[in-house]
Amino acid sequence: MARRNVIAGGSPAAVSTLGYALLGLLAREPLSGYDLAQRLKQRVGFFWQAAGHSHVYPELGRLQAAGLASHTAVDQADRPAKKVYAITDAGRAALRRWVTTPSDPPARRDERVLKAYSLWVADPAEVVALFRAQEAEHLERLARFEGIRAFSARQWEAAGRRRDSPPFASLAALECGILQERAYAAWCRWVVEQVERGADGGDSP
């Protein structure tokens, strides 16, 4: 048995970035609060670090209060009813507007680059070891992203390569991540090469 619960009112203009992230997931498929939290961590988390699990339910409540989301209470035999959330027509319209609204440049707080700014004071061997490890980390993430891209590409083919399909949007986000990981890996490799040249008596970095 399922019960529909839509709460009207509120202002779509007050939606947070987390709220839009949730709407973006719900536009693809109805999900429970638990599943939304997992998607934020496992999928959206690749390119946007969301708030913790405890923030998801309050945000869902605000989306419902604004009329942008609804939930269906699904009875379970041995557990309390499970709420499955869905985007409303108003929520889809708000998401559509938000997607094409210009965003501020991303905040730059990259501690690795900050450390690189002062790496000249560190032991060269330790610098090489650190940046080799970081390069391996970025290459591992790159391989994972490329595997996900191959899966999304097959989904996009199955969808007729339509631009207005979720697989295309997934590919667009993944491509950014892939380019970033390639650039970071190349940067780490460059630092190692320059430090090793200096250690061998070559030109200073």
CA distance linking residue 55 with residue 77, whole number of Å? 28
DSSP 8-state class, residue 3: E
Residue 205: inside a domain, yes or no? no
pLDDT one-digit tens code per residue, 176-193: 999 999 999 999 999 999
Among 46, 77, 99, identify where a domain stops: 99
Residues 95 and 6 placed together within one structural domain of the fold: yes
What pLDDT is attached to residue 84?
A: 95
Q: List alpha helices for the chain, DSSP H.
A: 17-26, 33-42, 53-65, 89-99, 111-116, 124-158, 166-199
Name beta bridge partners: 74. Answer: 2, 82
Query: Which domain range does residue 15 map to?
Result: 2-99
pLDDT in tens, 58-68: 999 999 999 99
User: Total domain count for the chain?
Assistant: 2
Strand, helix or coil at 157?
helix
Determine the pLDDT at residue 37. Answer: 92
Q: Is residue 95 part of a domain?
A: yes
Shared domain check, 134 and 72: no
Tokens standing for residue 136: 């391996």
Mean pLDDT (whole number) for 109-119 = 93
Residue 106 lies in a domain: no
pTM score above 0.85 = no
pLDDT at 133: 97
72 and 133 both lie in a single domain: no
Measure the CA–CA gap between 186 and 199, rounded to whole angstroms: 20
pLDDT tens for residues 127-163? Answer: 999 999 999 999 999 999 999 999 999 999 998 999 9
Residue 13 sits in the same domain as residue 64: yes
pLDDT at 171 > cutoff 50: yes
Burial letters for 156-186: b for 16+ Cβ neighbours within 10 Å, e otherwise? Answer: beeeeeeeebbbbbbbebbeebbeebeebbe
Residue 10 has pLDDT above 60, yes or no: no
Question: Which residues make Cβ contacts (< 8 Å) with residue 132, sequence separation at least 6?
Answer: 188, 192
For residues 205 and 196, what is the distance between their CA atoms, to the nearest angstrom?
A: 9
Quick one: tokens of 186? 């190349």
CATH, residue 14? 1.10.10.10
Together in a domain, 59 and 124: no
